[in-house]
Structure 1
Amino acid sequence: MSSILTNNGAMVALQTLKSINSDLADTQSMISTGKKVASAKDNASVWAISKVMEADVKGFEQISDSIAVGQSTLSVASNAAETVTDLLTQVQEKVVNANVPGADTTKIQADIDGLTEQIKSVVSAAQFNGQNLVDGSGDISILSSLDRDASGNVTAKSINVSGADLNVGGYTAQDVFGGNASGASTAGDVFTTSLAAGDTTGVTLEFDDATGTADGIDAGFAAGDKVSVSIGDQTVSYQISADVAALSGTQQTDQIAAGLKSAIDALGITDLEVEFTAGVSGTSASTLDFRVADTDGDSVSSIGKDTAITASFTNVGSGGLGALSSIDVTSDASGALAKMSGLIDTAVNAAASFGSAAGRLESQADFVSSLTDSLKSGIGSMVDADMEETSAKLQALQVQQQLGVQSLSIANQAPQTVLSLFR
């Protein structure tokens, strides 16, 4: 039956053409975006999985940056530990030379002191991004992975790198004591009086006997600790022996103060008089009184009016290489040699530990890089369009579209045949 009101053939041709146009639009979208799943409406399940994996990829890319920073920090620390090892080896050579009969131990000690200062400089400078692994400040934790369980919960994993303590020890206390003839003693003061003939001015340096009443240096030193007093640009030191370390209270501080007085007197500073006063336990501290006077009658003191008296001490136990600061080949060359093996072992162990950690980070960096590539490949296999297949499909759909248009055109002409029935 023919009808001019209902054209079934045209409706079928139109629906077919619409379907072809829809498929053609999808194919063109794949070609323009390169994806077969570009949004959730394309395939909600695959799209959701791909977005989770893309988030993981972004996370692992940040982890790669974290590991790179950790590797740089370790590299600096490793280089520092190796440099310190080399410097300690040089110190050991000096110590061995000091044990040779007739060696100039004073000059050798000066070389050792210079190498010690260089070690301090290396340890202090060995930081990256504000982190120093060789100064004993602590360990670092480097983000190394993101673990996702079956429920989708993510846990961050880290590689902990243990720091080393290659500090030589340092000035753990430093005070400047000054004042005037009236006996005032205030940290930071200096000799401020211009001396005329017969005038005097002075300061008092107090060695606290642990009563808590003095403003000087506390007692309680260990063997190998060193107490120093600087007068202007000249410095003398007194190293604590085991016998002195065994003493307590004013017995210990008396020994220290008296030893420093002898060393200062040996400097032969014109116009300077140093007087030692023994302390009384629980009552007064051991003191050194510094008096500057015009003793040679020229109305001018050999010590400038702005000269400061500086007292400080080095605690050998404050660093992993603290024993280095107690080495003194001028008084105990054989004892210094005995200490060197342990010091070198400390530096070598630190360098070896950093090397091992660097190996772990390198392996983890390679794994994270490979894992990131695998995740990207997996995402691509789910959402990327097969361009060869899509290209062939596009051409087929274009032909189908042309045929669909032709079919619709034929179907639309069918009612025209009804007119021939009325001629």
Structure 2
Amino acid sequence: MASSINTNIAAMTALQSLNATNKELITVQNRVSTGMRVNDASDNAAYWSIATTMRSDRQALSTVSDALGLGAATVEVAIQGTEGAIKIASDIKAKLVAARTPGVDRAKIQSEISELQSSLQSVVDTGTFSGQNWLTADSQNDEMSRTLVSAFSRDSTGAISIGTISVDISDTLLIDSTAAATDKTGILDTQDTTTNGAVDYTILNFDISALTDDVDDLADLEQILATVDTAITNMTDAATTLGAIKTRVDVQKDFAKNLMDAIDVGVGQLVDADMNEESTRLQALQVRQQLGVQALGIANQSAQMILRLFQ
């Protein structure tokens, strides 16, 4: 190859090789420092686009999971309230059984029942979580359906949909806050009338202190007792319904968590760098860089040797 003082072909070749090595080295160093093979659209537009959409969906699923957690807590509070009401109603039932005994002081028993009735009202009123109470509502004016966000999905066309769980709280309503007594449909405040005394009563509001051992009075007492027993059965059914809802919410929450984990894995497969591979490439490129610098130095020195021909 002819030597020239104007064009150092060897140096130009060495410089091009060194520039290419440096470019690869920067790419690998970025992957090592970020842990990502595709960090922006310029790295791989298709993978970056897919990963960005999946990350957005994953964030939406995280919100769904939070909403399910909130819903699960709301249902759990309702369950605890219903179970508490069952226990208190069972105590009232026991007091009524005791009141059936001839000659017993029913006024004293009524004083205990009145305290239990107040406790029933308190349990229902305090069964609130995040501003929602599934145990009491106005059946005439309030929306009796409660909705929980349960899922987020995207179909093959890219269209998204939000899944929900609808709950009809009329099945779990313990106290109806509607104004008219005859319109109340709650398990504890549905109005009934004693057969013999013709006295209107609810489980939250009855008085046995004036009842005697008369056959008709005892029949009315047994009627109230039967009403309380029926209410306990209905509240047990309500608790069962709430338990089934809680189970469904928990299943959806677990599924959302597993789906988020799957998305994380999928995104990682698309954009994460293989650190073992990249660290090996980094060392190899560093060696190539050093050799390239040396080769460029040798190529630059070749022009200096031409001077010896003129000495």
TM-score range, shorter chain: 0.7 to 0.9
Gaps of 5+ in 1: 174-219, 223-238, 246-255, 257-314, 317-321
Provide the residue aligned with 2:148 in structure 1: 142
TM-superposed deviation, 1:81: 0.2
Contact 1:21/1:401, CA 8 A, preserved across alignment: yes
Provide the residue aligned with 2:91 in structure 1: 90
How far, CA to CA, are the matches of 2:265 and 2:160 in structure 1? 21
Provide the residue aligned with 1:166 in structure 2: 174
Contact 2:75/2:242, CA 8 A, preserved across alignment: yes
TM-score, normalised via structure 2 length: 0.83
Provide the residue aligned with 1:370 in structure 2: 258
How far, CA to CA, are the matches of 1:110 and 1:381 in structure 2? 70
TM-superposed deviation, 1:337: 2.1
Equivalent pairs, count = 287
Comparing 124-133 with 367-376, greater Cα deviation is found at 367-376
Contact 1:64/1:365, CA 8 A, preserved across alignment: yes
Provide the residue aligned with 1:414 in structure 2: 302
Instruction: Report Cα offsets for 1:160-213 as digits up to 9, x if no partner.
Output: 23322111x67947xxxxxxxxxxxxxxxxxxxxxxxxxxxxxxxxxxxxxxxx
> Which protein has the larger Cα radius of gyration, Structure 1 or Structure 2?
1
Relative to structure 1, the CA distance from residue 87 to residue 221 in structure 2 (aligned partners, 3 Å threshold; closer, same or farther) is: closer
Relative to structure 1, the CA distance from residue 115 to residue 244 in structure 2 (aligned partners, 3 Å threshold; closer, same or farther) is: closer
Provide the residue aligned with 1:404 in structure 2: 292
Q: CA RMSD in A?
A: 2.7
How far, CA to CA, are the matches of 1:47 and 1:172 in structure 2? 60
Provide the residue aligned with 2:205 in structure 1: 325
The reply on whether 1:67 has 2:68 as its aligned counterpart is: yes
TM-superposed deviation, 1:240: 6.3
Gaps of 5+ in 2: 139-143, 184-191, 212-216
Relative to structure 1, the CA distance from residue 327 to residue 51 in structure 2 (aligned partners, 3 Å threshold; closer, same or farther) is: farther
TM-score, normalised via structure 1 length: 0.62
Query: What fraction of aligned residue pairs are identical, expressed as a percent?
Result: 36
Instruction: Report Cα offsets for 1:130-185 as digits up to 9, x if no partner.
Output: 10011135332121211111111111112223322111x67947xxxxxxxxxxxx
**1:188-337 to 2 correspondence within 5 Å?**
322-326=202-206, 328=208, 330=211, 331=217, 332-337=220-225
Contact 2:74/2:130, CA 8 A, preserved across alignment: yes
Contact 2:194/2:223, CA 8 A, preserved across alignment: no
How far, CA to CA, are the matches of 1:36 and 1:170 in structure 2? 61
How far, CA to CA, are the matches of 2:112 and 2:271 in structure 1? 69
Q: Which amino acid aligns with 2:37?
A: K
Provide the residue aligned with 1:46 in structure 2: 47
Provide the residue aligned with 1:112 in structure 2: 113
Contact 2:137/2:177, CA 8 A, preserved across alignment: no
Contact 2:73/2:129, CA 8 A, preserved across alignment: yes
Q: 2:242 aligns with which of 335, 346, 354?
A: 354
How far, CA to CA, are the matches of 1:22 and 1:361 in structure 2? 52
Instruction: Report Cα offsets for 1:256-313 as digits up to 9, x if no partner.
Output: 9xxxxxxxxxxxxxxxxxxxxxxxxxxxxxxxxxxxxxxxxxxxxxxxxxxxxxxxxx
Instruction: Report Cα offsets for 1:65-116 as digits up to 9, x if no partner.
Output: 1111111111111110001011111111112122222222222233222211
TM-superposed deviation, 1:344: 0.8
Q: Which amino acid aligns with 1:325?
A: N
Provide the residue aligned with 2:38 in structure 1: 37
Provide the residue aligned with 1:343 in structure 2: 231
Comparing 36-45 with 103-112, greater Cα deviation is found at 103-112
TM-superposed deviation, 1:414: 2.8
Q: Which amino acid aligns with 2:13?
A: V
Higher strand share: 1
How far, CA to CA, are the matches of 1:49 and 1:357 in structure 2? 35
SS in 1 for 2:265: helix
The reply on whether 1:155 has 2:161 as its aligned counterpart is: yes
Q: Which amino acid aligns with 2:246?
A: A
